[in-house]
Structure 1
Amino acid sequence: MRGITKKIHLTLPIPTEEDCVSDQERIQRALKKQGVDAVLPLPILRKLYPFCTEENWDFTISLAYDGGQWTAVNLEPQDTTACHYGYAADLGSTTLVIRLLNCNTGEILGEASVYNHQIQFGEDILTRIFHAKDQPEHLEQIRRATVDTFLEVFAQLENMTGISCSECISMVVAGNTTMVHFLLGIDAFCVFSSPYAVHTLNPGFLCARELGFPLLGYVYCYPGKANYLGGDIISGAIATRIYEKKELSLFFDIGTNGELIIGNREFLLCGAGAAGPALEGGSVKTGMRAVPGAVERVELKDGHFHLLTIGQKPPQGICGSGIVDMLAQLFLNGWISIQGKFLPEKSPLIHLEEEEYCVTYAPGLNFYQSDIDEFLKTKAAAVTMIYYMLELTGLPADEIGHFYMAGAFGAHISKESAVTIGMYPDVEREKLVPVGNSSLTGAQMLLLDRSILEYLDRIIETMEYVQFGAVDNFIHLMTAATAIPHTNLEQYPSVVDEMKRRGLLR
């Protein structure tokens, strides 16, 4: 491993009158023989005596890379090089996920997650931004909540593995631009407001203890490209390696916001825009996050719903992947039109409630017309981002080698259902590749391989950024995509074939 941390076991000759160099120089000289130039800061200098004498000059030194040099951060008796740990983190607006890694082998020793404590200041990012705007005490509340979220996950991982955060050297964090601002205690209103000149896109390596983390070394925050294209997406690009491929690829991280990169080793075109909370179960009356009891799979057969829930618990609501299945099944069974409107004559399960049509999919759980309308707007925004970027490159969808779909939503969604409702392009299914939490994967990769730092700047400089909100005809393009699967059915030949097979189209 060539990561951003090292642990080196040293057995050094005891000082004599003939060899009376300083303790500092003795250690640095030994490290240099192993190809490491390191700085010994004041806390380590203060520890040299009586530590080195008491340990008979047999100890392990921990080193942390700060982007320019190695810094000694700890001394331990004897050989502890096998105990070499670090963290990789995906700091999301909803959830924080952290992996504890063996930095010698790359083994994942544990993974844990919690909801971001910032949620107490607003379910959506914009509410949090306004809460902190020009209010230093409120900003500090959000910063503290962010740090406490990390500390909670550290405690979970310690309970799982017995390894405390004080034994870990450094951490790599991938998060969007707002989350990084809040982590650092910086007002994030600049992310949302014109001229969108944010306070930092590349804070680099920061002292962990200055941030409030009891780690030995540094916290590295992945750099971003723009206000709405943050380090989490750059980390995802690293995870998929689209920047080094000959073939054209498309990377799409879809959630409340949609961030997209298309290109190869020759060019990278990237963009970002709002998709909406419906993809994560938000704005759907019985929607919920992907937790036990959430409906994640839906099949409609012979007029009856067949549901699969997370954890095989009784259904309590429906999450994003279940919503996509629901729409696809309602459409393919002719219960909703191409405009997504309920056809109540098709089933007694479709009925009026509070002057709105809905379908009962489980006892006490309905899926409403307003749910469909909101979700179709969200899916229209998502797929329009894809088609707009393809239009800019002058390429049809079938010339893209792979479509990498990131995020928890992208990892669990049914490809067929997503194509059926027009959320994904109608391409060969093996080209649609779910990559899970690519932000977390990219953070792990950098923790274990610092050579990634050498070409991060080049990748970001190569990117040409498009802000979808500034595209003049984006709303017009979205309107065409609100139909199921799309107003232009020629873009969805496999869906047309299935509609004909079911007698929905002649």
Structure 2
Amino acid sequence: METAKKPEGWSRKIYLELTPPSQEDNASDQERILRALRGEYREVSCSLLVLKKLYPLCCQADWKITLLLVWNGKSWELADIEPGDTSGEHYGFCTDLGSTTLAGELVDMNTGKVLWQKSVFNHQIAYGEDILTRIFYGKDNPQKLEEIRKATVDSFLELFEKMEQDTGISGEQCASMVIAGNTTMMHFLYGLDAFCVFSAPYAVCTLKPDCYRAVDLGFPLKGYVYAYPGQANYLGGDILSGIVETEIYKGEEISVFLDIGTNGELVIGNKDFLVAGAGAAGPALEGGVVKTGMRAEPGAVDQVHIENGQVQIHVIGERAPAGICGSGIVDLLAEMFLNGWIDVRGRYVEEASEKILEVEGELAAEYGPGLFFFQKDIEEFLKTKAAAGTMVEYMMGELGLEMKDIGRFYVAGAFGTHISKEAGITVGLYPDIPRDRLLLPGNSSLAGARKMLLHKEIKEEVEKILDKMTYIQFGAVDNFLHLMVAAEAIPHTDIHRYPTVEKQLKKRGLL
């Protein structure tokens, strides 16, 4: 990513050539440096680390020095000093702290370019595959909570280690870091008991943590760590980061931002209003409850096509299939529906294919050698997609909006990246709208963290976003479960809402 002008980020590297001390000008080394900065940066504080490095570094460098300034959320601090001109070597780091994976980017703070990107598994998984298990593990137990906090930090350290191996640039060479993560993940990072996120009255420890020194959190960076604030227990900084990336809060047209995972988060609005909501969606898209489900890693079926009764699959890593991930699940269901293998209720039509068999007392379709997709797997998926669809339907109904009023419909996250638009629409996961209005921004949480890292003024914009946002907890909506029932059909009880799917079914003789 390149920006038109030099970013005004969370750190600066400044090369100075200063006049050495003399009898006529015997100001202290610290004052000599700070007065050179005062015109542009006003009062800059000086860290103890820098104070200890001033002598003999400045003398030996003939007062040709490079300063690292870091923003602490309120003012600039002098965090490091180096001899000569090293201003070209200026790096920052941004991350999306997810419950399953931690994705990070090394960013050139001078140009805005991403120099390196990678993800690692969140070490918290050792304390539970799902968030709730981790929450209960650490509940009311400071020692266990510290284990989870350390596991979180270790995930970052693994990422920094891989970065140094790949680029030669270490975490110690980075200035500041911006993190986007949900409310639970941020509690775990700060060593806070996250049970409050899950239990009524949902008054969490913090939604808006301060900037903290990286070293105090266990990170090797020289500056500060800023975490995106959240709006509520289930609407965290990862969603705010996505809103910043898509900029739906700036436009005239009304946009929808949907992120589907174990929880579903939704924001609808424009520059005049923002309404947000969150609720449980279900782990079906993460392969969590599918018998042969797995993460999107080598061995996972990620694409499915059915032709002439035969199932054709693509496997990540071009190896023998070991299971199926989220994008493969949506593809498989869409293909089975369009080929008449399952009906509108998601029930198998046993006589439709020889691939539909009774396995372990339950109907299932064989999508790969010895790999079956069971009836119960379909039911779990339909609950997830129905929850997501109902969130959108309910909120739009409350706002008096119809789909024709929506300019852009964003589906964020890994699933939005990898699930095909057509398959998502066929099963009713996405609305049936013109495809150019359905946007899949990928990891908008990470992209928003990068944008914040490069433009610290966005911190104030986020405060304004939170102030004007209205929040709805879908679990508290009386008729929500009733609305979900209609959305559990494929693609929906009202087929007319999905004209392109209806056309396909008629073409294939299924309507």
Which TM-score band applies after superposition, normalised by the shorter structure?
A: over 0.9
Supply the distance in 2 between the matched residues of 1:108 and 1:368 (Cα, whole angstroms).
42
Q: Is the 8 A contact 1:204 1:222 kept in 2?
A: no
Q: 2:506 aligned with 1:500, yes or no?
A: yes
CA offsets 1:39-61 (integer angstroms, 9 cap, x no match): 11333222222222222211111
1:204 deviates by: 2.6
Show the counterpart of 2:352.
Answer: 346
Q: 2:398 aligned with 1:392, yes or no?
A: yes
1:36 deviates by: 5.2
Secondary structure of residue in 2 paired with 1:312: coil
Match of residue 127, structure 1, among 129, 133, 136: 133
Letter in 2 for 1:28: L
Residues 41-120 of structure 1 correspond to what in structure 2 (within 5 A)?
41-120=47-126
Show the counterpart of 1:425.
Answer: 431
Residues 251-266 of structure 1 correspond to what in structure 2 (within 5 A)?
251-266=257-272
Letter in 2 for 1:141: E
Supply the distance in 2 between the matched residues of 1:93 and 1:363 (Cα, whole angstroms).
31
Identical positions, percent: 57
Q: Is the 8 A contact 2:41 2:76 kept in 1?
A: no
Supply the distance in 2 between the matched residues of 1:335 and 1:167 (Cα, whole angstroms).
56
Show the counterpart of 1:489.
Answer: 495
Supply the distance in 1 between the matched residues of 2:243 and 2:390 (Cα, whole angstroms).
21
Supply the distance in 2 between the matched residues of 1:455 and 1:303 (Cα, whole angstroms).
53
Secondary structure of residue in 2 paired with 1:109: strand
Q: 2:382 aligned with 1:376, yes or no?
A: yes
Match of residue 211, structure 1, among 211, 217, 238: 217
Q: Is the 8 A contact 1:11 1:58 kept in 2?
A: yes
Q: Is the 8 A contact 2:135 2:195 kept in 1?
A: yes
Show the counterpart of 2:15.
Answer: 9
Residues 461-472 of structure 1 correspond to what in structure 2 (within 5 A)?
461-472=467-478
Q: Is the 8 A contact 2:301 2:314 kept in 1?
A: yes
In the TM superposition, structure 1's runs of 4+ consecutive aligned residues that sit over 6 Å from their partners are: none
1:125 deviates by: 0.6
Supply the distance in 2 between the matched residues of 1:89 and 1:158 (Cα, whole angstroms).
16
Q: Is the 8 A contact 1:352 1:358 kept in 2?
A: yes
Supply the distance in 2 between the matched residues of 1:113 and 1:78 (Cα, whole angstroms).
34
Q: 2:155 aligned with 1:159, yes or no?
A: no
Show the counterpart of 2:4.
Answer: none
CA offsets 1:359-403 (integer angstroms, 9 cap, x no match): 111111111111111111111111111111111111111220011
Secondary structure of residue in 1 paired with 2:203: coil
Letter in 2 for 1:495: V
Letter in 1 for 2:136: F
Show the counterpart of 2:301.
Answer: 295
Show the counterpart of 2:442.
Answer: 436
Q: 2:322 aligned with 1:316, yes or no?
A: yes
**Which runs of 5 or more structure 1 residues have no equivalent in the other structure?**
none
Q: 2:432 aligned with 1:448, yes or no?
A: no
Letter in 1 for 2:195: F
1:236 deviates by: 0.3
Q: Is the 8 A contact 1:324 1:418 kept in 2?
A: yes
Letter in 2 for 1:439: S
Show the counterpart of 1:306.
Answer: 312
Secondary structure of residue in 2 paired with 1:204: coil
Q: 2:373 aligned with 1:367, yes or no?
A: yes
Match of residue 276, structure 1, among 251, 274, 282: 282
Supply the distance in 1 between the matched residues of 2:331 and 2:22 (Cα, whole angstroms).
76
Secondary structure of residue in 2 paired with 1:270: strand
Secondary structure of residue in 2 paired with 1:373: helix
Supply the distance in 2 between the matched residues of 1:296 and 1:42 (Cα, whole angstroms).
52
Letter in 1 for 2:187: H
TM-score by length of structure 1 reads 0.98
1:454 deviates by: 2.0
Secondary structure of residue in 2 paired with 1:113: strand
Secondary structure of residue in 2 paired with 1:242: coil
Secondary structure of residue in 2 paired with 1:446: helix
Letter in 2 for 1:273: G
Show the counterpart of 1:32.
Answer: 38
Show the counterpart of 2:3.
Answer: none
Match of residue 143, structure 2, among 118, 137, 162: 137
Secondary structure of residue in 1 paired with 2:457: helix
Secondary structure of residue in 1 paired with 2:328: helix
Letter in 2 for 1:225: Q
Q: Is the 8 A contact 1:85 1:167 kept in 2?
A: yes
Supply the distance in 2 between the matched residues of 1:204 and 1:411 (Cα, whole angstroms).
32
Letter in 2 for 1:444: R
TM-score by length of structure 2 reads 0.97
Letter in 2 for 1:398: K
The range that moved more, 132-141 or 421-430, is 421-430
**Which runs of 5 or more structure 2 residues have no equivalent in the other structure?**
1-6
Secondary structure of residue in 2 paired with 1:253: strand
Q: Is the 8 A contact 1:204 1:223 kept in 2?
A: no
